[in-house]
Structure 1
Amino acid sequence: MLGDTPPNRGILFVCTGNICRSPYAERRMRQLLPETGIPIASAGTGALVGSDIEAETSERLRRLGADVTGFAARAVTPRLVDEAELVLTLTRAQRGDVARLHPAAMRRIFALGDFADLCRASQTWRPIVPSRPWLPQVVAEAAAARGTIAPGDPDEVDVVDPYRGSERTHDEAYDRIEDFLSVIVAALGSVASSSRADRIG
């Protein structure tokens, strides 16, 4: 039933077609956070349902050593949003689209660049009680920090759509995603490490 809390909610990346930007972010995040146990998925607001990852995107992921197998584009739905602890869209407009699809989840939906800015600016990331899930706390702290920092310029936050674009457009899109993911992974990874260390200790 929509509204039930799944036992292990994760991260959902959302773009338009779900064949370029969001699968790139999904597969790179899986590669960069391999031992956290966070489910990581993607979907599209106008998905080319059933399609493979776009060829140029797939090739770039392969060159980085990321797994590109077993992918099929799918449409974002209220259920997929409900099953995610954190929803990261590739543009602010897409954030609005997803929020309208599932208004109750609005506090968990961020544009990828905005979430990276919150991670970069926040001074609240800290070790947490080992028995408490740490991803919800990171999301809650980011949501609380919204409005405490000036939003970035949309031109610096949105990730350009590389679909059918030039190599330069692909470079621009994926360089920006890499920059944003590096900040987010540092924040999530440090909290996850602290949690694991507390459990071991």
Structure 2
Amino acid sequence: MCTGNICRSPYAERRLRQLLPAGGVEIASAGTAAVVGSDIETETRDFLRQRGADVTGFRARSVTTEMLGSAELVLTMTRAHRGQVSRLHPAAMRRAFALGDFADLCRASATWRPINPAQPWLPQVAAEAAAARGTVAPRDLDVIDVVDPYGASTRTHTDAFERIEEFLGTIVQALGAVAGSARASR
């Protein structure tokens, strides 16, 4: 989740679809002030293509209470976006994380309980991450938040997408291991 749903969150959505091993997880994005119906912003689309991600069929949409209510995990581009989740759907807060905070929690995931293979794995991961809040020292906003590159320079786009790539690398490694162990236990 980001603001306009044309740069950061579509970038993360399309890269996660590309990077996360198939595991029955639906990956979607939305914005708090979406440019509804718009395609991915041109420079963002170019960055995604360079990484081999599929950019077809995207249309920006606004986040809704229904989306937040049904999501097993909500990843936001900033802590302020996470705060907006609390205003839209307070019960979703336990499943909502700023992308950088969730990456930090994934990095510390060796302390999480084993996943129950009889249950869907993603809600278990979200619950473990929520329980781990406070056990990982929070980093400053300038390290956690992904800057909005819309209308900014190519350098700002590069910085934003490199930060997303860093966070996704950690997250995909942790989620891929969990998903793989859950499938192997069935």
Length-normalised TM-score, structure 2: 0.97
Which stretch has the larger CA shift, 172-181 or 95-104? 95-104
Structure 1 unaligned segments of length 5 or more: list them.
1-13
Alignment of 1:111-190 (within 5 A): 111-125=98-112, 127-190=114-177
Choose from 61, 66, 72 the match for 2:59: 72
Q: How many Å separate the matches in 1 of 2:98 and 2:38? A: 24
The C-alpha deviation readout for 1:54-108, integer Å capped at 9, x for no partner, is: 0010111111111111111000110011121000000001110111110011100
RMSD between superposed Cα atoms in Å: 1.1
Structure 2 unaligned segments of length 5 or more: list them.
none
Specify the SS of the correspondent of 2:30: strand
Which stretch has the larger CA shift, 170-179 or 125-134? 125-134
Q: How many Å separate the matches in 2 of 1:85 and 1:151? A: 23
Q: How many Å separate the matches in 2 of 1:61 and 1:148? A: 34
Q: How many Å separate the matches in 2 of 1:173 and 1:130? A: 36
User: Identity rate of aligned residues, in percent?
Assistant: 72
Q: How many Å separate the matches in 2 of 1:115 and 1:176? A: 13
* Corresponding residue pairs, total: 186
The alignment status of 1:98 with 2:85, answered yes or no, reads yes
Q: How many Å separate the matches in 2 of 1:125 and 1:186? A: 15
Q: How many Å separate the matches in 1 of 2:90 and 2:75? A: 15
Specify the SS of the correspondent of 1:57: helix
Q: How many Å separate the matches in 1 of 2:58 and 2:21? A: 18
Specify the SS of the correspondent of 2:123: helix
Structure showing the higher helix proportion among its residues? 2
The alignment status of 1:54 with 2:49, answered yes or no, reads no
Q: For residue 133 of structure 1, what is the amino acid of its counterpart?
A: P
User: Does the Cα contact within 8 Å between 1:127 and 1:195 map onto a contact in 2?
Assistant: no
| Runs of 4+ more than 4 Å apart | none
User: Does the Cα contact within 8 Å between 2:21 and 2:176 map onto a contact in 1?
Assistant: no
Question: 1:125, CA displacement in angstroms?
Answer: 4.2
